[in-house]
Chain A
Amino acid sequence: SQQGEEDPQALSIQEGENATMNCSYKTSINNLQWYRQNSGRGLVHLILIRSNEREKHSGRLRVTLDTSKKSSSLLITASRAADTASYFCATNTGGFKTIFGAGTRLFVKA
């Protein structure tokens, strides 16, 4: 079963622009994580935000969480060609399992 759904499915921007990806989920969560996957490589953890947090920053990344709307957003500022990748949100509902969404494919044009 899919808990998180990312939007848009694909995004193409110019280098230097900001990229925003959204994740909506269905049931209450304990935490939500964002991962990045470059072509041909494994997933890399970006940020974990807990249900009692509203915003977190890491370098050029900003994640927000709105538990009332059951949604999260990932903002990448001043994007670079190296940011080209698939981005996944993963939700944990308090049990053992973390469920990944289908991902947003970001393409940053140089």
Chain B
Amino acid sequence: EAGVAQSPRYKIIEKRQSVAFWCNPISGHATLYWYQQILGQGPKLLIQFQNNGVVDDSQLPKDRFSAERLKGVDSTLKIQPAKLEDSAVYLCASSPRGGVGQETQYFGPGTRLLVL
């Protein structure tokens, strides 16, 4: 079974530029998550999709971050414009059902973003 795929693996941009990350979850998984992990910290949930719909985006900085999950499969996370403090690893995860009560999440390798 193929795992969660993410691209690119690394990205270096200057502040105020835009960047986009892509995630392909495990086939058949209904729930998709985007996390931000700053060096030395645990992952922080940015947004959670259940199929096409958003179930939690309470910690997504909506003035600069956006995410979509078209057709309930792949997802993209965009930052526009980027700030220095956005330097982090962006992790995508998926789970079969998700929802209330949660369950095991399967993580991709992450995209390491450096904003100069």
Which A residues have a C-beta under 8 Å from some C-beta of B? 2, 30-31, 33, 35, 41-45, 48, 88, 92, 94-103
Contact = CB atoms under 8 A, between A and B. Distances in A.
A48 B103 contact: yes
B42 A30 contact: no
B14 interface: no
A45 B93 CA distance: 11
Contacts of A30: 101-102
Contacts of B40: 102
A31 B41 contact: no
B62 interface: no
Nearest to B40: A102
Contact count band on B: 20 to 34
B109 A42 contact: yes
A88 B42 contact: yes
B91 A43 contact: yes
Given A97-B56, A102-B41, A45 B104 contact: yes
A30 B48 CA distance: 18
29 contacts: A33-B104, A35-B107, A42-B4, A42-B91, A42-B108, A42-B109, A42-B110, A43-B105, A43-B107, A44-B107, A45-B105, A88-B42, A94-B100, A94-B101, A95-B100, A96-B55, A96-B100, A96-B102, A97-B45, A97-B102, A98-B45, A98-B102, A100-B35, A100-B42, A101-B42, A102-B40, A102-B41, A102-B42, A103-B41
